[in-house]
Structure 1
Amino acid sequence: YAQYQNQPPQHTRSAPVCIPSKPLHGRRSTLHLALTYLENKDSYVRMLFTDFSSAFNTIIPQQLINKLNLLGLNTSLSNWILDFLTGRPQSVRVGCNTSSTTTLSTGAPQGCVLSLLLSTLLTHDCTAKFSSNHIIKFADDTTVVGLISNNDETHYREEAAQLAEWCGANNLSLNVSKTKEVVMDFRRNSVDHPLLTLDSSAVERVSSIKFLGVHITEDLTWTTNTMSLSKKAQQHLHFLCRLKRASLPPPILTTFYRETIESVLTSCITVWYGNCTAADCKTLQWTVNTAAKIIGTPLPSLLDILLSPAIRKTLQEHQSPLCKTAQQLFPPGCETPQF
């Protein structure tokens, strides 16, 4: 692999694709599209959150290689990837028992860094057909955002049908029973929206959904998300009390707090904290204050963490090393403003 990685690929132009380089970018892109469009008159947004059955296990290596060749990837590197994906021995070991070895020539190894990149490249041609729709992808999570006006859902429904056809042509099984839809309509004279149908099955409409770790609701409030984070963080206060009773020093207690409680409360904080209500902020801060009393030392508030230099630096997407690296992986024509 080392002898091939420095060879420049022969780029070919491809259709625009919106693939965030990090989960945070995916959440912000989705919400930004919705919030910006909802400012228009007589408009609403429908979001389709798809679910694939064993997406990484259904990759056909030769089909992937054909797409890599169309993207202009070096032939030697393509052959190396094909060799990596085919003829893989696999067995299962539980304790002292080991199963017989099975050779696999489909799918990509779970937990492999390369598998995530290959899955992204495999779906690079899954793009929106209409300008009023946007397809946002991160790993095997694919979201269709339909920007609708004047109750005309023709393009959105055609986009969803085209996505289902694309999945069938690329050996991806669309799990309609786990696919959900959220409708964001703040118009005074809003009408009942007909259910979306995929593969002759109706897609369930929900009032909230957990998307890349963040609860998104149809009314675009963050109470559901903050209550979920608060409940999860408060469960760890019990263990903090147990450590306090064991006479552990404050530095160790503070480290435990930051790893198990603060990390939960600040998960994707740049996405939702700015629009939280005073009641939601108070609920979250209660957990911080309780932990500070247990430890016996002051702890930074969530607002202080949000305004810290480290968090502000993450907001500078154009300076993110991961973002720059991701941009170098795609040929010209694959970048979009959401990227």
Structure 2
Amino acid sequence: MKVLNDITEALDKKQHCVSLFIDLSKAFDTVDHAILRQRLSSVGLSEHAVAWFANNLSGRTQCTQFDGLMSVQLSVCNGVPQGSVLGPLLFTIYINNLEKNVQNAQLHFYADDIVIYCCASSLTKALQNLQNDFYTVQHTLCQLKLILNTDKTKLMVFSKARNFSPILTCQGIEIETVTSYKYLGILIDDGLSFKLHIQQLTKEFKLKLGFYFRSKDCFSFEARRRLVSATFMPLLDYGVILYMNASAQCLRSIDTLYHGTLRFILNCKTLTHHCTLYTRVVWPSLVTRRLSHWYTFIYKAILHLLPIYLGIFIVQKCGGYSLRSLDFILLTVPNVRTEFGKRAFMYSAPSSWNALQNTFKLLELVPIGIFKSLMNDLETDSLTCQCF
């Protein structure tokens, strides 16, 4: 969300933005235990806690088993275990100083998924700043004994200009420029249209929907409902607040497949009206569902339950006049230049919240559980057909 907000804000200001999606070779397996212990101490862990982690990572062995045969066990001197709860956390602490000495670019990462991006008034300046800071990041990676995967590291340019100098590694290898890249499960394109992401989702959903209908006679109504809830809806909800502003045509393709899953649950005819589907399954439309996720996300930011780099965009409005409407909790909406700029979190979050307050009219903050109950009530009210 922070990365997309910064890029959208820059483009709204007629700036150019470039981003580098960094991939590391065997990132978790190359963590140096001695450096990790130093990093754990530097973030404030006690000697006893550091010793516990050191003991937990020491004495590990690995072997290969195939066709009933097992190789000799070898000691594992580096790395943190993958697939564990602590693995990503330890790796994050390990590379937490990666942005040290980065001057002009911004760096964002989740475990080993790293993106470094830079915005400037000209594309040449943005690329030069990114190149300089990329050199700095490479030196830090070298100190951490992490290996840059140049084949999978990609450059994306958010600009109409297409003639520009390449980004190089310290070894002089040119980084490939792409027009789309999957970052944290979201397929980002250089126009921030999310059209490719929605097309990919549509393909996955069609395969699932085909499986559902081929096996519908094997399940009861409640089993079909639970099947869709467990295997379809989580994929639908993931990242929805990022692509919810895509074009209506793109979103309509997902709506159509969603209606298909509701018909599968109800085992009803194709021509059954979608409002009837919502009412009988007691699930809201995707428009309502997206807004529910979006409002809940905003409210978490208001409650300071989100990272501070998002919380800084949430500023409560202070009225200078005695108006009843200003008794409600309203947020300050910054100025933007274009309709595209309104997609940025810094604008869309406070703007959406103020619109919601026309309905909720909250005078004080309530616990997140109560707010979710209010959203559930709003979803229930939306089940009434309003098409006619």
2:261: which partner in 1? 291
Q: Which residue pairs with 1:25 in the alignment? A: none
Unaligned runs of 5+ in 1: 1-27, 328-334
* Residue identity opposite 2:190 in structure 1: E
Aligned with residue 75 of structure 1, among 47, 53, 64 = 47
| 1:55 equivalenced with 2:57 (yes/no) | no
CA RMSD of aligned residues (A): 2.4
Q: Does 2:148 correspond to 1:174? A: yes
Q: For structure 1, which segment, 206-215 or 149-158, has the greater mean C-alpha deviation from structure 2 after superposition?
A: 149-158
Residue number in structure 1 paired with 2:287: 303
Q: TM-score, normalised by structure 2?
A: 0.70
Match of 1:37 in 2: 10
Q: How many residues align?
A: 295
In the TM superposition, residue 185 of structure 1 has moved relative to its aligned partner by: 0.8
- Describe the SS at the equivalent of 1:162: helix
What is the aligned counterpart of 1:279 among 249, 253, 259?
249
Stretches of 4+ aligned residues off by more than 3 angstroms: 91-99, 128-132, 314-323, 335-339
Deviations 1:125-168 (A, max 9, x none): 11164553100010101100111223313321100111111111
In structure 2, distance between residues paired with 1:314 and 1:157: 34
Q: State whether residues 301 and 310 of structure 2, in contact with CA within 8 Å, keep that contact through their aligned partners in structure 1.
A: no
TM-score (norm 1): 0.80
Shift of 1:319: 7.2
Q: Please name the residue that 2:96 is paired with.
A: 124
Deviation at 1:69, TM superposition (A): 2.2
CA contact (8 A) 1:128 1:135 kept: no
Alignment partner of 1:157 is 2:127: no
In structure 2, do the counterparts of structure 1 residues 302 and 251 end up closer, same or farther at CA, with 3 Å as the change threshold?
A: same
Residue 149 of structure 2 aligns with an amino acid whose one-letter code is N
| Superposition deviation, residue 93 in structure 1 | 4.2
The 2-side partners of 1:317 and 1:80 are apart by: 34
Query: Is the CA contact (8 Å cut-off) linking 2:103 and 2:133 kept in structure 1?
Result: no
Task: Determine which structure has greater relative contact order: mean sequence separation of CA pairs < 8 Å that are 6+ residues apart, divided by chain length.
Answer: 1
| 1:317 Cα deviation after fit | 3.8
For 1:319 and 1:96, locate their aligned partners in 2 and report how far apart those are by CA, in whole Å: 57
Q: Which protein is bigger by CA-based radius of gyration?
A: 2
Residue by residue over 1:285-334, the C-alpha shift from the partner in whole angstroms, topping out at 9 and shown as x without a partner, is 110122222332724321121133x66324434478985xxx8xxxxxxx
Gap change, CA 1:35 and 1:131, over 3 Å in 2 = farther
1:103 is matched with which residue? 75
Counterpart pick for 1:141 among 91, 97, 113:
113
